[in-house]
């Protein structure tokens, strides 16, 4: 259930019997022909669907992340590392203050890795709390399903092309794209990155069948749910 569909009294009642919370975190950045909000849309949706049968509240998604390499693409927003870490710290402090003691961040953006390290550090300084920082998209079972479908998968490729991340009346190239050199990418300025990768897909097909995507999604939801269930210690 979404925390935005609860009032404070309902949250207080919930905390008498459970202390788990889920916080999705994503990024607003280019995803080729897909929505700039792919990482937001997917992290929130997988969190909500996973938590629903368990009755665990899902907080609003942190919509911005660390993505300086894409800033030459209009619409991309990148936070400073210090800004994201300060934001995550404030969220954790607030959740602890309210009475939440088991907190799962469901992350949809690889650039947010520093927030995962911060969560570990925060947990060490706050005994009695457990924080997990979980990358839903490359969790073991989910990634195995990706590889089963198509071993050539990457940022803004078919593996992020779900019915709910597509935009109306936007066509996709039919031909697969050659994989980029990610090591080379790390040495480039944002303008060089755009010149190098073009539309934004890192490599592979832009789209696969909805049947394949829904099968992948089911694995992702179930694996995320297992993280909420625990064990937590």
Average pLDDT over residues 199-214: 98
144-157 in b/e burial notation, b at 16+ Cβ within 10 A? ebbeebeebbbbbb
Domains of the chain: 3-229 (3.40.50.10310)
Token pair 């994503």 is found at 26
- pLDDT at res. 1: 87
Q: Is the pLDDT of residue 191 over 90?
A: yes
φ, ψ of residue 149 in degrees (nearest 5)? -75, -50
| Average pLDDT score, the chain | 97
User: Peptide bond before 231: cis, by omega within 30 degrees of 0?
Assistant: yes
- Mean pLDDT, to the nearest integer, of 206-210? 97
pLDDT digits (tens, 9 = 90+) for 45-85: 999 999 999 999 999 999 999 999 999 999 999 999 999 99
pLDDT of residue 233: 83
CA distance 42 to 65: 14
Find the mean pLDDT for residues 156-185.
96
**pLDDT score at 25:** 98
Across 183-201, average pLDDT: 96
């Amino acid at each position: 259930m979404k925390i935005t569909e609860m009032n404070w009294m309902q949250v207080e009642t919930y905390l008498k019997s459970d202390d788990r919370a889920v916080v999705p975190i994503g990024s607003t950045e280019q995803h080729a022909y897909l929505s700039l909000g792919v990482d937001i849309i997917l992290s929130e949706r997988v969190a909500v669907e996973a938590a629903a049968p368990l009755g665990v509240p899902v907080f609003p998604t942190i919509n911005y992340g660390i993505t300086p390499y894409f800033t030459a693409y209009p619409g991309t927003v990148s936070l400073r590392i210090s800004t994201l870490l300060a934001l995550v710290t404030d969220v954790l402090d607030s959740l602890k203050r309210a009475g939440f003691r088991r907190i799962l961040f469901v992350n949809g953006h690889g650039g947010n890795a520093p927030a995962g390290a911060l969560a570990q550090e925060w947990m060490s300084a706050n005994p009695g709390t457990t924080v997990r920082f979980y990358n839903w998209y490359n969790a073991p079972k989910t990634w195995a399903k990706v590889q089963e479908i198509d071993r050539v998968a990457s940022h803004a490729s078919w593996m992020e092309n779900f019915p709910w991340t597509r935009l109306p009346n936007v066509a996709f190239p039919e031909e697969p794209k050659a994989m980029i050199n990610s090591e080379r990418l790390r040495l480039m300025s944002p303008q060089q990155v755009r010149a190098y990768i073009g539309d934004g897909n890192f490599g592979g097909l832009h789209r696969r069948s909805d049947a394949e995507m829904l099968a992948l999604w089911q694995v992702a939801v179930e694996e995320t749910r297992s993280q909420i269930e625990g064990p937590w210690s």
